[in-house]
Structures are given as C-alpha cells and as structure tokens.
Amino acid sequence: MSNRNNGQWRLKSRPVGMVKETDFEYIEEPLADLSANQFLVRNLYFAFEPAMRGWLNDVKSYVPPVAIGEVMRASTVGQVVESNNPDFQPGDYVQGMLGWQEYAVTDGTPGVMGAVNKVPEGIPPYLVLSALGGTGLTAYFGLLDVGQPEPGDVVVVSGAAGATGSVAGQIAKIKGASKVVGIAGGPEKCAWLTNDLGFDAAIDYKSEDVKARLEAECPKGINVFFDNVGGDILDAALLNMAMNGRVVLCGGISSYNEEDLPPGPKNYMQLVIRRCRMEGFIVIDYMDRAGEAIADLSAWIASGQIKHGEDIQEGIENTPKTFLRLFEGKNKGKQLLKIADPPL
C-alpha cells in the first residue's frame, strides 16, 4: 500500500461570500501504513450538502469549522481494500465522514460526525448517502418530529427538488397530507415533483409570484412549512400560515454564501397572529433513533412510495465544481460525485 498516492481536496482559504473552486486545492501525498485496528477505504462517492458551506466559516456552530489545510469534510461511501480491523473486511462497503479524498485510513470510531458504518446489503451503496442516509433522516425527523403533520394537513416544502425536500414532501403524502406543494427553481424540477414524485403542485420561484401562488394553492393556509431556503420564500410562507401552523427550519441555503447576514424574515410576527411555531433541528440529535427511520424509509423505497433522485457527477477533479452546483440550484435530488468504481 505504501506505493499508493492519495489525491485529496483540501481547504485552501476561507471563502468570502460565494464559495469558489479556488478555495480548495488538490494535493497528492503517499498513503501511510496501517496501524493496529486501522483499515484502508477507497472512496467511491462523495455526498454534498448545503450545510457544508457553514463548516467553512470560522465560527462557533454545531460542529467545528474545517481547518485551513485540512481535507474537506464530507460524507462518502467506499470499499475497504486493506484491513487490520477484525470488524471490517476487504470488500465491505462502508459509509463515513471520510472526506474529499481517494483513500481514507480509519479505525472506524466516531470522529466529528459519527463512526464508519457498513452499508446494508442489497441496496446501491450510494443510497446511504441520500434517501437512506443523513438526507433521508433529516427529511424524516424534520417533517415528522418537528413538523408533526396531521392527516389532512397542507404541507409546503421549499428547496423541494433538493435531496431533503424531495423526500420530505413524499413522506408528507404517505402520512396523509391533503396537499403537498413544492417550491423549486425551474420548469424541469417542478415537472419532476408533480409528474414523478407525487407532489400535488409545484411553484417555480424563478418565474412565479410565490406569495400569490401559495395563497391560490393553500386557501386555508399552510399547516406545515418545511423550509430549506429562507429569505423571501420563508417570508412568503409566513404570510400564509394556518392557525397553529409549524415552520420546520431545516436550512437556509439562500443566505449561506452571503458575506453579511441578510435581513431575517420580516413577517415573523405572523407567528404571533396565527399562533405558529418555528423550530430548528439538526439530524445528528436523532441518531439514536436512526433505526426506525431507516426501517420506514427502506420499506417506502421498496414499495415505490418514495422515489429517490440522485444527481451523479463524475471525476474527483470535479469535486469543488460539483459542490458549487448546490448553490447554483443545478441539482435535482441528492448531489453526488462518483470518483471510482468498486476496486474489488
């Protein structure tokens, strides 16, 4: 193994405003030998999430920032190629926070964001990066535990063609929502929501008046608004909440690349007038209940009730470019990058 080089994308500089490809640099270095209990993973797929943008800022948050010169933190799936660890055998598919690199040396114990886990058999390994991974769990616990939809509720999802939003909307339908409306950018994404994923309506925020469309689609108001976007879209939804509605704050991608924080939701006092609750959550708090979510999600995927979408780019040289697709609104479903085929 000592002959192998490991290509890595490291954080070169903290982005100011919109993250750029040049905020990262590609470095190759020889792989170290394995110590006792360690194993070597060949990464196959990188997963990309909007929240990763936050990890690049030097601020106190729910995880420490990525350091300058550090391999960029990212969830990956890979295959074990060598092992000094009796729990991991060559050929095993694994998922972990193994970063933007071709290879990772690990002993499998929890790092900043969880341990390395084996991928269940019988599914495409990359599913644990999307609908059966953090993304699916985020949609599951955010919608059900924070949003607490009741049968008959009207549910609206922003960033609905994204990895989390697309799953959240489908779970809402499964749980008996009378209507699920997705907000997404562009006719292709909107058509995907209504034609393929079973959303009842889609609003194209790039060409339509979101506030007017929400009023038309939800004449009795929104019971649950699952927000991935923030900004004007959150403000429009706040103006159309039903009494005792819930705003699930999953993310706010519209502001992640802003140098200074943009104004907050000016209509937040609607929370008083309509007795609503706006609540944030982070999926890592629910990891002790991951089993129940994965059981439900697996069954819904197997029955076709949840369709998962992945936008799979290729080639490790395209890593930062693929990350930027999130903020350019290009991905439909989970943004992944395939960097290798299974080696074994």
Separation between Cα atoms, residue 175 and residue 170, nearest integer Å: 9
> Judged by CB, which is closer to its own copies: 185, or 230?
230
Q: Residue 152, interface with its own copies (CB under 8 A)?
A: no
Separation between Cα atoms, residue 151 and residue 142, nearest integer Å: 17
What's the token pair of residue 228?
Answer: 């991935």
Q: Residue 285, interface with its own copies (CB under 8 A)?
A: yes
In order of 15, 175, 201, the CA distances from 304 in angstroms are: 40, 15, 20
What's the token pair of residue 119?
Answer: 């991928």
Q: Residue 249, interface with its own copies (CB under 8 A)?
A: yes
Q: Residue 78, interface with its own copies (CB under 8 A)?
A: no
Out of 78, 125, 134, 265, the only residue in the binding site for its own copies (CB under 8 A) is: 265
- Of 99, 28, 16, which Cα lies nearest the Cα of 56? 16
Q: Residue 175, interface with its own copies (CB under 8 A)?
A: no
φ/ψ bin of 135: left (φ > 0), alpha (ψ from -120 to 50), beta (otherwise): alpha
> Judged by CB, which is closer to its own copies: 1, or 284?
284
Out of 99, 134, 162, 252, the only residue in the binding site for its own copies (CB under 8 A) is: 252
Count the site residues for its own copies by CB under 8 A.
Answer: 32
Segment contacting its own copies by CB under 8 A, of 105-113, 121-129, 270-278, 335-343:
270-278
CB atoms inside a 10 Å sphere around CB 6 = 19
Out of 12, 20, 277, 307, the only residue in the binding site for its own copies (CB under 8 A) is: 277
Cα maximum dimension of the chain: 66
Query: Is residue 204 classed as helix, strand or coil in its secondary structure?
Result: strand
Closest distance between its own copies and the C-beta of residue 315, in Å? Answer: 33
Closest distance between its own copies and the C-beta of residue 148, in Å? Answer: 12
> Judged by CB, which is closer to its own copies: 252, or 333?
252
Question: What residue ranges bind its own copies (CB under 8 A)?
Answer: 61-62, 230, 235, 249-252, 255, 261-282, 285
